[in-house]
Amino acid sequence: MLDSELPHSFPEVERAIAEGRCPAEIAEAHAEWTALQKRLRELGSPESYYLKAMNCPHHHRIFAAQPRSYRDLPLRLAEYGCCYRYEQSGELFGLMRVRSLNMNDAHIYCTEDQFADEFRAVNDMYLHYFRVFGLEKYRMRFSTHDPSKLGQKFVDEPALWKKTEDMVRAVLVESGIDFVEVPNEAAFYGPKIDVQVWSAIGREFTIATNQVDFAVPAKFGLRYRDRDNSEKIPLCIHRAPLGTHERFIGFLIEHYAGNFPLWLAPEQVRVITLGDDPALIEYARPIVQRLRAEMVRAEADFGSDPVKAKIADAEKSRVHTMLVIGPRDLEAGQVSLRLHGKGNVGSRPVEALVPALLEAIRTRSDAPLAA
């Protein structure tokens, strides 16, 4: 995640997990805070602190912390952090609905002229993630407002609604992205894109969002000095590429049915010895250490159980790659390579196999292991 932020010039920021009682100006400026108050967890203290429920107001304050010029825009702030919602016990649902939410959240402050490029770049980032995770079926859901609910469900700014919806629609059409337009589903402060994906078994998930905010920056007093020296209000794009990571991991578990590819597997490699012969363990332990030194998620099974039981346990645990070591492997300086669900694929010299594993992880492909 962080690697994909850097090329797009998103500096990482971090805010405290606890915050004081929301000041009146923030409560009035950010309607979402008011809607969330019943789900905020108040901490016992004389000043009534709350666990952080969202990043938006804090990023707005970072923007407002110093005078801004058009030369500073677009300003992109990303935060890989944790927020908290005090969901009711009946609303909690495994990884899909939790009280502690980790997400890669960001806010982009830009001019109207910059909006199309910034919004398109966010969509392109989402498409990149879909390719990385092998998500082939997805659709962008363009959520717009309902004019009859202005001043109730949606900010009462009809001209800005039309302008920003036209801008989003134009980006989607020009990008050739498959999308469906859904009225009355926008955020209260502007139109948004919700990204719908389907798991391997056909279940639909909302996995990411890309939202336009033309209302809240004005209420927070966010301003920048334009070329003509006039003060203007920036547009704000809220984006969370993979939604909450807990929910996304829940989706991935279902999508892959627990059979993760090597690069993504929680346990990538397990080194297994035939029994607990000290000579085999002495040979196997440096292999585990070398893999871990290369940041491979490697574990060892050097116990006395029969090797068939060890392999069965690794298969049951859906370990992607098993390196089995017996007396013949020790003599030849090799390991026997097994892949989850595919069985034994032959013996390999250790010096050749470790680079192949690293290449398979780097390229997100099993091809180097088949060579």
DSSP H/E element including 86 = none
Burial category of 120 from C-beta neighbours within 10 Å (exposed 0-12, middle 13-18, buried 19 and up): middle
Task: Identify the three-state secondary structure at position 285.
Answer: helix
Report the distance separating Cα 107 and Cα 237, nearest Å: 6
When pLDDT is averaged across residues 26-47 and rounded to a whole number, the result is 50
> pLDDT tens, 198-213?
887 888 888 888 999 9
Is the pLDDT at 47 greater than 60? The verdict is no
Confidence category of residue 323, pLDDT binned at 50, 70, 90: very high
> pLDDT tens, 121-133?
999 998 898 889 8
When pLDDT is averaged across residues 150-161 and rounded to a whole number, the result is 90
Q: Are 56 and 238 in contact (CB under 8 A)?
A: yes
Task: Provide the mean pLDDT of the chain.
Answer: 86
> pLDDT tens, 285-296?
999 999 999 999
Please tell me the CATH superfamily of domain 269-370, with its number.
Answer: Anticodon-binding domain (3.40.50.800)
Is the pLDDT at 8 greater than 70? The verdict is no
Among the residue ranges 35-39, 46-50, 213-217, 239-243, the one predicted with the least confidence is 35-39
Report the distance separating Cα 225 and Cα 351, nearest Å: 60
> pLDDT tens, 98-155?
888 888 889 999 999 999 999 999 999 988 988 898 888 888 899 999 999 998 999 8
When pLDDT is averaged across residues 178-190 and rounded to a whole number, the result is 91
Write down the pLDDT at residue 325: 96
Confidence category of residue 18, pLDDT binned at 50, 70, 90: very low
Strand-pair partners of 348: 335
Top pLDDT among 25 and 163 is at: 163
Write down the pLDDT at residue 87: 80
User: Which strands form 75-84's sheet, in the order they lie side by side?
Assistant: 75-84, 100-110, 235-240, 204-213, 192-198, 138-143, 179-182
Write down the pLDDT at residue 165: 94
The domain made up of 2-256 has a fold known as: BirA Bifunctional Protein; domain 2 (3.30.930)
Is the pLDDT at 24 greater than 50? The verdict is no
Is the pLDDT at 46 greater than 50? The verdict is no
**Fold equal for 2-256 and 269-370:** no
Query: DSSP of 169-193, one letter per residue?
Result: HHHHHHHT--EEEETT-SBTTB-EE
Domain ranges in the chain are 2-256, 269-370
